[in-house]
Amino acid sequence: MAGAGQTSYLASDPSSEETFSQVQRWMPSCVDDHSVCRLLDSTCLPLRVIDVGTRGTGGAYSNPFLSVGANRPGRYATLSYRWGNMCFTTTTSTIEQRKTSMPLSSTPQTFQTAIEITRRLNIRYLWIDALRIIQELLQHWQEQSAIMGQIYANSWLNLSVSAATSPGSGFLKQRNLRNPQLPPSIPSRRFY
């Protein structure tokens, strides 16, 4: 029975309503059956996370933005992906803009999909290293990269994108279940 520890579900369209309904059926079993997952309900958010927003009265979401603050409780998802040719990061010159708004269309496809998944699973916050670490400040990068393991361990859900070669590639593409393709091997590159 799916949701009771078995995860053999595979769909040709990983972005379908059917797939998300299945994932939403599995999520409560994490809290009910795993003591570690229960502890995640009382964890604090990392210093900087993307607030993916809530639905407005017309059903549309507002633009995501970088939410900053210490000791805030909440569930968050993390994104693990290959950097490739990364060009969308947070720097000292972009941080104030990111705290105000990040129009979805301005972000790489992998980030857009991760934000959409986070919204569909009713998780309010998403952690993406390129957006929450001020990239050109070496000391900040060193401090924040030192706690990455803790950030991933405390997340409610990790979205692992192993088949995309860069953030622009996107993921959740149609699959041929009769002739499945395995993800390419991961070269020794920067991979979070």
The residue extents of the domains of the chain are: 17-52+62-160
> Hey, what's the torsion of the CAs at 120, 122, 125, 129, to 10 degrees?
-40
pLDDT tens, residue by residue, 29-68: 777 777 666 555 668 899 889 999 888 888 888 899 999 9
* Alpha-carbon 104 to chain mean position: 14
Rounded to whole angstroms, how far apart are CA atoms 163 and 177? 16
- Of 24-33, 55-64, 111-120, 154-163, where does the model show the most confidence? 111-120
| Mean of pLDDT over the chain | 78
User: In this structure, what token pair is assigned to residue 15?
Assistant: 């972005």
Helices first, then strands: H and E counts in the chain:
7, 5
Residue-level pLDDT at 37: 64
122-136 residues labelled b (16+ CB within 10 A) or e (exposed):
ebbbbbbbbbbbbbe
Residue-level pLDDT at 77: 93
Rounded to whole angstroms, how far apart are CA atoms 37 and 114? 21
Residue-level pLDDT at 1: 35
Q: 165 CB contacts (<8 Å, ≥6 apart)? A: 82, 84, 184
Q: 12 CB contacts (<8 Å, ≥6 apart)? A: 174, 175, 176, 177
pLDDT at residue 168 is higher than 70: no
| Residue 29 φ then ψ, to 5° | -65, -25
